[in-house]
Amino acid sequence: MPRTIKSAPGLPPEALGDIRDTVQIMLARIRAGGEATAQDYARTLDGWTRPIPVPQHDITAAETKIPPALKEALHYAHDNIRAFAKAQRASLTEFETALRPGLIAGQKVIPVSAAGCYVPGGRYAHIASALMTIATAKAAGVRHITACAPPREGGIDPATLYAMRLAGADTILAIGGVQAVAAMAFGLFGTPEADILCGPGNAYVAEAKRQLFGPTGIDMIAGPTDIAILADQTADPQRLALDLIGQAEHGPTSPCWLITDDADTARQTLQAIPQTLALLPEPNRTAARTAWDAMGEILLCADREEMARTADRYAPEHLHVQAADLPWWRDRLTAYGSLFLGENTTVAFGDKASGPNHVLPTSGAARHTGGLSVHKFLKTVTYQRVTDAALPDLARATATISHAEGMTGHALTAEARLPRPPLPRVVNS
């Protein structure tokens, strides 16, 4: 077992029951009251009294408010995200195969018809999230994409609005929180009902997605963002501290773990944390300090194999390797949302512009799932066709299994397809 150099005491638990009940009531009211109720929540919770659908002239005007350097950066990021998503789409193919003579089976890949993409607001303007969700749905071939973001004073942040348009949103709604998720799921404000909801959000947004899951698909139920860094004696402690605190900036509930097999690296990184925090402005500094004090952890392992086992057990959202022999780590590690190999490959690149999606599993969910990808917007469906050549064996096998299960009706439907013996020939005397 690794030795703990710095422990994570954690934060007081959230009142999850209160969140669950509040969301359930809000969804029921919006389902019954429709647009008027959603608009009322927007007025009460966001202070938004203007129309929810963003008019085209506001979307066009947003472009004039974007500095050229930011516009160039958004196009750079969008091109990477779209290219990666298209490559993912190309990796999933349709096929048809003859399993036996007369038994043909195949696979089709069909995009969902409508997607709802939530772009969070809050402490930061999550511009990159608009690109990650909308551009990926577009690359999958989704016919209609509705995007929502909480309005600030004057409306949706212009850079976020520009990113939504750039990525290909068909309808943009100025609405946030549970009411936004409900609007997309229920098809309010002239939009089709979303087949899938995606995008990060606060605890209320996550709970709304959880409660709507079933008839409506979701990407995942995301918790606070997290990072784990695997470092050996070749890593730079100052940079390790910066990479940890850079992710802690997300908020006070964000776990950040350093896993190392070198005691000096652990000690020097811990010593570098205070001056690293001092680099951040307020309120970022307070958010990062709270996260580090409550959720930060440094673990000292015996060797790199124990480091890898520890990382697999934590199953972090972001896993950054700053250690020698990167191919070994790439091939050995098995549980992470996205893997960042080498000192140069900071997690912030993946968060903003490098291409692979930043909507990733948190809270250990990387043990069983990956992040948002073009595949989330695609249905892999199957079909089959049976001709006379396959009927006798297939029908007999099906009937035999069905009888063994006690499912007589299934057996009869199979036996009805068995070739019937020819009628006896009548010979005239």
What's the pLDDT tens digit per position in 39-96?
A: 999 999 999 999 999 999 999 999 999 999 999 999 999 999 999 999 999 999 999 9
420, pLDDT greater than 90: no
Bridge partners (DSSP) of residue 171 are 146
The mean pLDDT of the chain is: 95
- With a pLDDT cut of 70, the percent of the chain lying above it is 97
Looking at residue 122, its pLDDT comes to 73
- Predicted confidence at residue 124, as pLDDT, reads 77
What mean pLDDT is predicted for residues 381-403? 96
Residue 419: per-residue pLDDT? 82
Q: Tokens representing 167?
A: 């990525």
Question: Residue 197 — very low, low, confident or very high, per pLDDT cuts 50/70/90?
Answer: very high
**317 catalytically annotated:** yes
**Among residues 207, 249, 317, 343, which one is catalytic?**
317
- Taking 80 as the threshold, does the pLDDT of residue 421 lie above it? no
Predicted confidence at residue 167, as pLDDT, reads: 98
Q: What pLDDT is recorded for position 384?
A: 97
pLDDT higher than 90, residue 154: no
Confirm if 392 and 398 have CB atoms less than 8 A apart. no
Q: What is the pLDDT of residue 426?
A: 65
Q: What pLDDT sits at residue 402?
A: 96
Question: What local confidence, expressed as pLDDT, does residue 216 receive?
Answer: 97
* pLDDT band per the 50, 70, 90 thresholds, residue 194: very high
Query: Global pTM?
Result: 0.92
Q: In degrees rounded to 5, what are phi and psi of residue 179?
A: -65, -30
- Predicted local confidence at residue 123, as pLDDT: 76
Mean pLDDT of 93-111: 97
**Tell me, what's the pLDDT at 16?**
60
Does residue 328 surpass a pLDDT of 70? yes
Q: Tell me, what's the pLDDT at 12?
A: 73
Query: Which residue out of 78, 126, 250, 318 is catalytically annotated?
Result: 318
Does position 109 have pLDDT exceeding 70, yes or no? Answer: yes
Residue linked to tokens 């973001």: 149
Residue pLDDT, tens place only, 217-276: 999 988 899 999 999 999 999 999 999 999 999 989 999 999 999 999 999 999 999 999
pLDDT confidence tier of residue 151, bands split at 50, 70 and 90? very high
Active site residue 318: yes
